[in-house]
């Protein structure tokens, strides 16, 4: 009985996380998905490739697969505490969030989890902007789109929509 209730609660939680906002209008579906594709592309293929080793990283950086760039690790080690206490772990989280989170946003799978991680990461970057020379417009844009994605999910043009239809028979 307890296990059955636990499974029901887990299923209900999974449904809330995965099931996206389903709009009937094609224009509204595009309005939901377009910013996610832009942010996902920028995170995974523009910003992530220089700080984290992926197949599309520039060859002159000599980064192996999932290796954190030394220059990025040096920057992160100057952040405020508690990030300063474990810079490699945060740099790894940052790289995985940019690459995996960006791809998840593009494909529309686990969009809410990816959005939460992007919000967390960009907030940390904004708090530590004293140590980074960058335009803070990008983190604010990423936070805004991720909040939007956190609410709406992937929309009808994502794998979350297909997965929720199969799992929950809607």
Q: What is the pLDDT along the chain (170 residues), one digit of tens a residue?
A: 777 777 777 777 777 777 777 777 888 888 888 999 999 999 999 988 888 888 888 888 888 888 888 888 888 888 888 888 888 888 889 999 999 999 999 999 989 899 999 999 999 888 887 767 667 788 889 999 999 998 888 888 888 888 888 877 75
SS3 22: coil
pTM: predicted TM-score of the whole model, two decimal places: 0.84
- Check if the beta carbon of residue 158 is closer than 8 Å to that of residue 111: yes
Burial of 12 (0-12, 13-18, 19+ CB in 10 A): exposed
pLDDT of residue 131: 67
């Amino acid at each position: 009985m307890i296990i059955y209730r636990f499974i029901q609660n887990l299923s209900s939680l999974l449904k809330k996380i995965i099931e996206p906002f389903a709009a009937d209008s094609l224009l509204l579906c595009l309005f939901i998905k377009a910013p996610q594709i832009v942010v996902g592309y920028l995170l995974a293929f523009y910003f992530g490739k220089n700080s984290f080793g992926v197949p599309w990283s520039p060859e002159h950086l000599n980064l192996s697969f999932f290796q954190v760039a030394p220059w990025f690790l040096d920057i992160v080690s100057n952040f405020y505490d508690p990030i300063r206490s474990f810079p490699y772990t945060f740099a790894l989280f940052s790289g995985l969030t940019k690459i995996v989170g960006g791809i998840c946003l593009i494909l529309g799978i686990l969009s809410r989890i990816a959005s939460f991680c992007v919000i967390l990461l960009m907030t940390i970057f904004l708090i530590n902007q004293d140590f980074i020379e960058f335009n803070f417009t990008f983190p604010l844009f990423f936070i805004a789109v991720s909040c939007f994605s956190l609410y709406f999910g992937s929309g009808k043009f994502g794998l979350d929509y297909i997965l929720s239809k199969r799992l929950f028979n809607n």
